[in-house]
Amino acid sequence: MPAARQAWLDATEQFIGNPSSPHQIGARADAALEQARENLGDILGCDPADIVWTSGATESNNIVLHHTARVLDAGAEVWISAIEHPCVIQAAQYYFPKRRRLIPVTAEGVIDLEWLTAELAEARPALVAVMAANNVTGVLQPWREALAICRQYKVPFFCDGVQWLGKMPAQGLGDCDFLSGCAHKFGGPRGIGFLKCPSHGQLRPLILGGPQEEGRRAGTENVAGAISLVAALKAREQAMAAGESKSRFGWRADFERRLIDALPEAIIVGAGRKCLWNTVAALMPDVTPQHRWVVKLDNLGFAVSTGSACSTGKEEPSHVLCAMGFKPAEAGRVLRFSSGWETTADEWTALADALSKVYAEAHPMKVQTAA
């Protein structure tokens, strides 16, 4: 994104010092870093002192689980939604192999709030983790409601805000006890992210070394990255306030309609639920194997994925779809389409046409019969 790129270039030239250094060059970098922290706190609606810069959301999420493991009462559990990103699922599995419970989701891919309400009335986990929006299906999660229930029972609430930030307004997310995000999901550079965590509680660092970030995360801070992250998020928030998302939701809905018209056997995952405007997951008809769809669409100029990018190369069906009740064979038919901010309505239409073409080539008889 131009604003993020320019901010990164300017910061790289202007703030060459190490923010921890005692000289003026260092102090200038430190002031710029603290200004970025303040600006991010404003956008999220939280105390800037609660923000820790990290290398990205995988690190932020690991810090939360590591911290919880360190401060946990023996026997206490963590409850995480069954559709969390693998970095949350695997960190929970690593730190709490026997004390981790999965919060179930409905067939539409939304966490089961009734389950959470009923279970919290009976037991107090050390942490509840519910992501804001799912990365495979795009389905928005009721994180505000889950946060409110956790507040009622004084249970710390952790929200992975990666997919939400930049596409949905950020305000309110700063109320979560723990919140993670990364710049590259909203137009900023890779390799920079943040964790919002309670500053009054002593965060147990995952990465040990120097006293940076108030002893919460060792290592020289990525000043230009943090400044660019804030520039990107600010630009996204301004564009949302100007109403840019409305037409994007329309394009997504139109694409879904075209997809089902062209491929009546396809199933839109999470249909009917409020989703991110940029992500559509669909189970494709059986006629063409999943990888053939990917190759053929790639040849037509469309880069689509078969699940979350992080699980590409792994043959297992998506744990997200399995949690929604799809059988492994069904989950193996999923394709995920995601757009960027530069994607146009015409490109969404062209993708639907390309899907129709690939389908017709694979199954000419079916298309003739339908026509």
Q: Which residues bind ligand PLP (CB under 6 A)?
A: 56-58, 85, 87, 131, 135, 160, 162-163, 182, 193, 310
Tell me whether residue 310 is one of the annotated catalytic residues: yes
> Considering beta carbons, is residue 30 or 187 the nearer one to ligand PLP?
187
> Considering beta carbons, is residue 208 or 310 the nearer one to ligand PLP?
310
- In three-state secondary structure terms, 4 is helix
CA dihedral 36, 42, 48, 53 (to 10 degrees): -50
Helical pair 290-299 and 345-362, crossing angle rounded to 10 deg: 120
Cα–Cα–Cα angle for 68, 72, 73, rounded to 5 degrees: 170
> Considering beta carbons, is residue 60 or 245 the nearer one to ligand PLP?
60
Contact 86, 310 (CB under 8 A): yes
- CB 109 → ligand PLP: shortest distance, Å? 13
- Name, in order, each residue with C-beta under 8 angstroms of 292's C-beta and a sequence gap of 6 or more: 362
Across the strands, what pairs with 105? 111
Q: In this structure, what token pair is assigned to residue 158?
A: 């952790």
> Considering beta carbons, is residue 160 or 175 the nearer one to ligand PLP?
160
- CB 160 → ligand PLP: shortest distance, Å? 5
- In three-state secondary structure terms, 180 is strand
C-alpha span between 206 and 308 (Å, rounded): 25
Rounded alpha-carbon distances, angstroms, from residue 37 to 8, 15, 285, 337 = 15, 15, 47, 33
Contacts 24+ apart (CB under 8 A), 307-312: 307/136, 307/334, 307/336, 308/85, 308/86, 308/135, 308/136, 308/336, 310/85, 310/86, 310/87, 311/86
- CB 133 → ligand PLP: shortest distance, Å? 8
Catalytic residue among 176, 182, 197, 310: 310
> Considering beta carbons, is residue 193 or 270 the nearer one to ligand PLP?
193
- CB 180 → ligand PLP: shortest distance, Å? 7
- CB 308 → ligand PLP: shortest distance, Å? 6
- CB 153 → ligand PLP: shortest distance, Å? 25
313: left (phi over 0), alpha (psi -120 to 50) or beta: left
Cα–Cα–Cα angle for 106, 110, 115, rounded to 5 degrees: 65
Residue number, nearest CB to ligand PLP: 56
Give the start-end residues of each E strand in the chain: 51-54, 78-81, 100-103, 127-129, 157-160, 178-182, 193-196, 267-268, 279-283, 334-338
Give residue for tokens 């009740």: 325
CA-derived radius of gyration, the chain: 22
- CB 87 → ligand PLP: shortest distance, Å? 5
Rounded alpha-carbon distances, angstroms, from residue 155 to 85, 199, 213, 310 = 21, 17, 25, 30
Closest-CA residue to 82 (of 322, 317, 280, 305) = 322
- CB 184 → ligand PLP: shortest distance, Å? 6
Residues forming the active site: 310
